[in-house]
Amino acid sequence: MSRINAGLLDSWWMFFDTFWALVLGFAISGAIQAFTSREKALASLGNHRPATVVKATVLGAISSSCSYAASAIAKSLIDKGADFTTAIVFMFASTNLVFELGIVMWTLLGWQFALAEFIGGAIMIILLTLTLPKLNLPKKIRLLPMAEDSKPQTKSSWHDAAGFTIGDLTMVRSELIIGFLVAGLADTLIPISWWRHLFLSSHGLLSTLENVILGPFIAFISFVCSVGNVPLGAALWNSGISFGGTIAFIFADLVALPLVLIYKKFFGLKLSLKLVAVFWFTMSLSGLLTEMIFSALGALPKHHGLVAHPSHLGNNFTSWMNLIAVLVSIAVFALYKTRDKSDSSPYAKDPICGMQVEKATAAATFESNGEVYYFCAPGCMESFKSSLSA
């Protein structure tokens, strides 16, 4: 029981580390969905030319989102007409090229890992830009510019933005809870010796290849999220995993099982499997190339004693940001509760997943007993029909 309690406490501190990023990330997503016109999104991120990819990378890096929130923002950008590749680049940049992640990596692992975040992140962006356009995207993803007469007539408000924010959080609430709990428990219940036997060492290139391939797999089964994966990454590093394998693991928060389930909700099973394969390949190859670069420069770090988890409540950056996030949460919830819920509102709530959808562009609609229901995806509509006939 003491180890379980320690794991739950670890889950709390992981949540504490990422709470402000979650709140601000989902709030940004809500604002994008409410206020960004499709034309503006297409104009700024509507292609994957080099200049546009660089812009998406910079915007993602300064957004500083948790992986769950980043996936919601990327989906909202795609829905608004942004290029699919560019939106995914934004998602990767907002989770792997952010300042606070580098600071935590420097604290727990050393400056080499902090520098590797940006070098490996840049390599990932290049690989994604080259690989994602080759996917055979379904028609619903290959968006066309919106016609002039299809623009919404009602101007969005902050109440509408709050509706999108709460709706997105409602949609992924189960994945969030499971993710934090499993990450904390895995960090305390799985013996370090188990990791040491899992990863090859002292076999040269073979060890490096095995480590960079297995790194994302460990992220997949451990449900890591954003900054919360760095302590577990430090434990892996000090258990014998290679430098490149550790980098691949830290980059792999976007293939954690809860995120894969979210992709399935957003894009469907077939496209989600393709995305996970591309993400896995990109993360592993980036870890491998990053290790090769540091090795060539003679800058590979040496293993050292594990540093204690830095999280605590007090006069520090995370605590103050969390206080700001609490105030933002209160404001968003107040706006959500006072939003327009009448039939004349241009928005409706998906009765299955809880997302807010625009009536004029809903992915699916269904009428029952004289009432029209709006859905974010056909899958939600089918679930709703099944619930009525049950």
Do residues 230 and 133 share a domain? yes
Tell me how many degrees the CA angle 67-376-360 measures, rounded to the nearest 5: 125
Do residues 255 and 367 share a domain? no
Domain membership of residue 342 (yes or no) is: no
Domain membership of residue 98 (yes or no) is: yes
Mean pLDDT on 143-164? 62
In 10 A of CB 299, how many CB atoms? 13
Residue type at 341? K
Domain membership of residue 333 (yes or no) is: yes
Do residues 258 and 357 share a domain? no
Residue type at 82? A
Domain membership of residue 39 (yes or no) is: yes
- State the chain's mean pLDDT as an integer: 79
Do residues 298 and 384 share a domain? no
The token pair at 218 is 């460990």
- Domain end: 315, 337, 359, which one? 337
Residue 390: what pLDDT?
65
267-310 confidence digits (pLDDT tens) = 888 888 999 999 999 999 999 999 999 999 998 887 654 444 44
Do residues 383 and 235 share a domain? no
Would the pLDDT of 40 be above 70? no
Would the pLDDT of 126 be above 90? yes
Do residues 126 and 235 share a domain? yes
Residue 150: what pLDDT?
43
Do residues 242 and 366 share a domain? no
pTM: 0.65
Looking at per-residue pLDDT, the higher value among 279 and 96 belongs to: 279
Most confident of the ranges 43-47, 58-62, 83-87: 83-87
Do residues 38 and 91 share a domain? yes
Would the pLDDT of 14 be above 80? no
Do residues 257 and 371 share a domain? no
Domain membership of residue 50 (yes or no) is: yes
Domain membership of residue 75 (yes or no) is: yes
Q: Round to whole Å and give the CA distance between 32 and 27.
A: 9
SS3 356: strand
Structural domain span for residue 385:
347-389
Domain membership of residue 32 (yes or no) is: yes
- Around 72, how many Cα atoms within 13 Å sit in the side-chain half-sphere? 34
Looking at per-residue pLDDT, the higher value among 71 and 298 belongs to: 298
Total count of domains within the chain: 2
Domain membership of residue 149 (yes or no) is: no
374-386 confidence digits (pLDDT tens) = 887 666 788 888 8
Do residues 234 and 377 share a domain? no
Do residues 79 and 185 share a domain? yes
Do residues 31 and 117 share a domain? yes
